[in-house]
């Protein structure tokens, strides 16, 4: 059998007239259209010298042709390598020379700069703009739609996604056809996707969430998606009238909650709201339920593993928890140092094993070895706890752990206490170098609108609720928390900004020149 993800998605399609994609400008693309378009593009790729196993690097805006290019790359047996459209030429130099693609597809505005980098690895360059125009699609128009999908083994690479790399160099996670197929199949079941579903697709497609979770799940279920170029709360609320599922990062939900048109009526036609890629505040979960009558379903995954756990479709969707392991996935919590599995309710390193777990980091065999245990479990780097009902709770990245006076402080615990205070919108707790304690627990707090809470009031409120060593040494107020495109708070930026807080005495605000104050 051909284990190529494309074949697994479409070989048994029996109705090519089903709608696959709808665009805001009213275009309707059927499954048959999408497959034919991917066939044309696959013919172009082969004509440009792309061979099975070659990487096709793509830095292009979200568009239907870009999604079809992903499918075409699979069909050609090549490896799709999407790159965040915010990356600069300097950053692209690293990715392109590391991945050595045979073809780079980019926006025409970047073609000249990218050409210079691509020629170092003898890659060709084709263009594709936000409207789906460029040399690639021009060639596709003249190409034949028929293409025999190249046979691949389950263990062959389908994609390489570079991790966001908040510590050290970004690493290329190698994902196989089996990784992506198994995850899509279990999510279709877990979230009860059927051909009646209409997904609001407002996520970027250079990331695992928008590319694999959203697109593969929809296509495998023969559902359709309303393919939006970006997240716009007005548009998302408007299209809910004819949609059934929204997949979003937590920022989608906080921003939608600020919109007066978000009501029980406007969300009435929807059956499911899914959140992931960053922690959804328990408060946001509760506010969403109160306002819309829907309990957000939070799930947990990462570039290297696809999805690992999910709150249940039926049963309790617990605020602040990411649910039990998905079918076929094993999740455990271990001692960070010894790797020994810990009993329920203990806090430790989250490790996962299953058909979803990636093959390793591209050209980093040493790094790959150190991130896996001998029994095949992948060490996620996330800290968490599994409760008595097998629900996983995430306490943050291991690298965000604060060690103060030799004691471990898990930021999430302090953040939850601070977030629960009236007048606080959100908070981030970080460790900042401290002359006495090694690291000083430091809270960066965003106040709610028109709130004037002080540092003293917050510290007083925490007194008696948290052990003394966990109480922040300082509380700093900011207008907002720095976030990446997926809504993750960038604690590394906060740590840099406040690095001198307990240091040489000069004002952190003077030195950092940062907009947070």
Q: What is the size of the binding site for ligand AMP (CB under 6 A)?
A: 18
Q: Nearest Cα to 92, choosing from 115, 68, 126, 73?
A: 115
User: Under rule CB under 6 A, which residues in 199-258 are in contact with ligand AMP?
Assistant: 208
Measured from the CB atom, is 115 or 166 closer to ligand AMP? Answer: 166
**CA dihedral of residues 504, 167, 368, 152 (deg, nearest 10):** 180
Residue choice 179, 186, 284, 380 for contact with ligand AMP (CB under 6 A): 380
Residue choice 302, 441, 471, 508 for contact with ligand AMP (CB under 6 A): 302
Asked if residue 163 binds ligand AMP (CB under 6 A), the reply is: yes
CB of 307 to ligand AMP, least distance (A): 9
Tokens found for residue 162: 């570079």
DSSP 3-state helix, strand, coil percentages of the chain (rounded to 5)?
30, 25, 45
Asked if residue 368 binds ligand AMP (CB under 6 A), the reply is: no
Tokens found for residue 183: 């995850």
Asked if residue 474 binds ligand AMP (CB under 6 A), the reply is: no
Which residue stretches of 135-249 are H helix? 135-142, 177-190, 208, 217-220, 233-239
Q: Please identify, among the stretches 115-123, 229-237, 298-306, 502-510, the one whose residues bind ligand AMP according to the rule CB under 6 A.
A: 298-306
Q: Are 253 and 273 in contact (CB under 8 A)?
A: yes
Q: Please identify, among the stretches 66-74, 125-133, 294-302, 428-436, the one whose residues bind ligand AMP according to the rule CB under 6 A.
A: 294-302
Q: Please identify, among the stretches 257-265, 296-304, 339-347, 421-429, the one whose residues bind ligand AMP according to the rule CB under 6 A.
A: 296-304
Measure Cα distances from 125 to 39, 346, 437 in Å.
20, 51, 53
Residue choice 7, 182, 284, 303 for contact with ligand AMP (CB under 6 A): 303
Measured from the CB atom, is 154 or 248 closer to ligand AMP? Answer: 248
Asked if residue 164 binds ligand AMP (CB under 6 A), the reply is: yes
Place of tokens 């392991």: 325
Asked if residue 276 binds ligand AMP (CB under 6 A), the reply is: yes
Residue 276, Cα to own-chain centre: how many angstroms? 7
Q: Please identify, among the stretches 191-199, 299-307, 311-319, 445-453, the one whose residues bind ligand AMP according to the rule CB under 6 A.
A: 299-307
Asked if residue 159 binds ligand AMP (CB under 6 A), the reply is: no
CA separation for the pair 131, 73 (Å, rounded): 20
Which contacts of 152-157 are long-range, i.e. CB under 8 A and separated by 24 or more positions? 152/2, 152/3, 152/4, 152/5, 152/52, 152/77, 152/177, 153/3, 153/177, 154/3, 154/178, 154/181, 155/359, 156/3, 156/52, 156/53, 156/77, 157/53, 157/79, 157/359
Asked if residue 486 binds ligand AMP (CB under 6 A), the reply is: yes
Measured from the CB atom, is 126 or 371 closer to ligand AMP? Answer: 371
Measured from the CB atom, is 279 or 482 closer to ligand AMP? Answer: 279
User: Under rule CB under 6 A, which residues in 387-416 are in contact with ligand AMP?
Assistant: 394, 397
Measured from the CB atom, is 177 or 491 closer to ligand AMP? Answer: 491
Tokens found for residue 95: 């990715």
Asked if residue 183 binds ligand AMP (CB under 6 A), the reply is: no
Measured from the CB atom, is 21 or 429 closer to ligand AMP? Answer: 429
Measured from the CB atom, is 36 or 272 closer to ligand AMP? Answer: 272
Measured from the CB atom, is 76 or 318 closer to ligand AMP? Answer: 318
User: Under rule CB under 6 A, which residues in 306-345 are in contact with ligand AMP?
Assistant: 322
Residue choice 22, 298, 371, 426 for contact with ligand AMP (CB under 6 A): 298
User: Under rule CB under 6 A, which residues in 29-48 are in contact with ligand AMP?
Assistant: none
Residue choice 179, 182, 216, 277 for contact with ligand AMP (CB under 6 A): 277
Helix (H, G, I), strand (E, B) or coil at 449: coil
Under DSSP, the state recorded for 83 is: -
CB of 287 to ligand AMP, least distance (A): 17
CA separation for the pair 234, 259 (Å, rounded): 8
Under DSSP, the state recorded for 18 is: S
| H or E element in which residue 428 lies | strand 424-434
CB of 263 to ligand AMP, least distance (A): 26
Sign of CA dihedral 26, 31, 33, 34: positive
Q: Which residues contact 234 (CB under 8 A, 6 or more apart)?
A: 259, 261
CB of 10 to ligand AMP, least distance (A): 26
Residue choice 82, 101, 172, 279 for contact with ligand AMP (CB under 6 A): 279
CB of 382 to ligand AMP, least distance (A): 5
Under DSSP, the state recorded for 222 is: T
DSSP string, 300-350: EEETTTEEEEE--SSS---TT--BSBPTT-EEEEE-TTT-PBPPTT--EEE
Asked if residue 278 binds ligand AMP (CB under 6 A), the reply is: yes
Tally of residues, the chain = 517
Asked if residue 187 binds ligand AMP (CB under 6 A), the reply is: no
CB of 90 to ligand AMP, least distance (A): 21
CA separation for the pair 35, 356 (Å, rounded): 25
Binding string, residues 415-454; x marks residues near ligand AMP by CB under 6 A = ----------------------------------------
Q: Which residues make up the interface to ligand AMP (CB under 6 A)?
A: 163-164, 208, 276-279, 298, 300-303, 322, 380, 382, 394, 397, 486
């Amino acid at each position: 059998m051909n284990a190529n993800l494309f074949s697994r998605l479409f070989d048994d399609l029996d109705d090519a007239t089903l709608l696959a994609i709808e665009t805001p400008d009213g275009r309707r693309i059927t499954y048959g259209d999408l497959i034919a378009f991917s066939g044309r593009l696959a013919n172009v790729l082969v004509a440009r010298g792309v061979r099975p196993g070659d990487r096709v690097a793509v830095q292009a805006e979200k568009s239907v042709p870009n999604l079809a290019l992903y499918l075409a790359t699979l069909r050609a047996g090549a490896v799709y390598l999407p790159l965040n459209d915010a990356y600069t030429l300097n950053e692209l130099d690293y990715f392109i020379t590391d991945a050595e693609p045979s073809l780079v597809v980019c926006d025409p505005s970047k073609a000249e700069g990218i050409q210079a980098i691509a020629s170092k690895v003898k890659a060709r360059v084709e263009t594709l703009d936000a409207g789906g125009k460029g040399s690639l699609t021009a060639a596709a128009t003249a190409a034949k739609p028929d293409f025999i999908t190249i046979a691949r083994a389950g263990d062959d690479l389908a994609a390489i996604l570079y991790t966001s790399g908040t510590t050290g160099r970004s690493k290329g996670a190698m994902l196989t056809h089996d990784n992506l197929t198994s995850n899509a199949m279990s999510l279709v079941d877990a979230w009860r996707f059927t051909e009646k579903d209409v997904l609001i697709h407002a996520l970027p497609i250079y990331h695992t969430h928008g590319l694999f979770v959203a697109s593969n799940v929809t296509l495998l279920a023969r559902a359709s998606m309303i393919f939006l170029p970006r997240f716009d709360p007005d548009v998302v609320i408007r299209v809910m009238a004819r949609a059934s599922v929204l997949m979003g990062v937590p920022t989608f939900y906080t921003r939608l909650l600020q919109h007066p048109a978000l009501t029980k009526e406007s969300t009435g036609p929807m059956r499911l709201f899914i959140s992931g890629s960053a922690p959804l505040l328990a408060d946001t979960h509760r506010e969403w339920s109160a306002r819309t009558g829907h309990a957000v379903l939070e799930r947990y995954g990462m570039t290297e593993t696809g999805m690992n756990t999910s709150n249940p479709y039926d049963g309790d969707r617990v605020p602040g928890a990411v649910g039990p392991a998905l079918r076929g996935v094993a999740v455990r919590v271990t001692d960070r140092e010894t790797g020994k599995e810990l009993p329920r309710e203990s806090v430790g390193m989250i490790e996962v094993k299953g058909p979803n777990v990636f093959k390793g980091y591209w050209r980093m065999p040493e790094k790959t070895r150190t991130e896996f245990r001998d029994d095949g479990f992948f060490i996620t780097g996330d800290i968490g706890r599994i409760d008595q009902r097998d629900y996983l709770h995430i306490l943050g990245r291991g690298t965000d752990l604060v060690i103060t006076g030799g004691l471990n402080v898990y930021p999430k615990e302090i953040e939850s206490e601070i977030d629960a205070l009236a007048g606080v919108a959100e908070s981030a707790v970080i460790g900042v170098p401290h002359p006495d304690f090694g690291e000083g627990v430091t809270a960066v707090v965003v106040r709610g609108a028109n709130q004037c809470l002080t540092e003293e009031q917050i510290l007083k409120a925490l007194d008696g609720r948290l052990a003394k060593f966990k109480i922040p040494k300082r509380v700093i107020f900011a207008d907002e928390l720095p976030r990446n495109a997926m809504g993750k708070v960038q604690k590394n930026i906060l740590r840099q900004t406040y690095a001198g807080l307990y240091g040489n005495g000069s004002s952190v605000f003077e030195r950092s020149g940062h907009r947070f104050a």
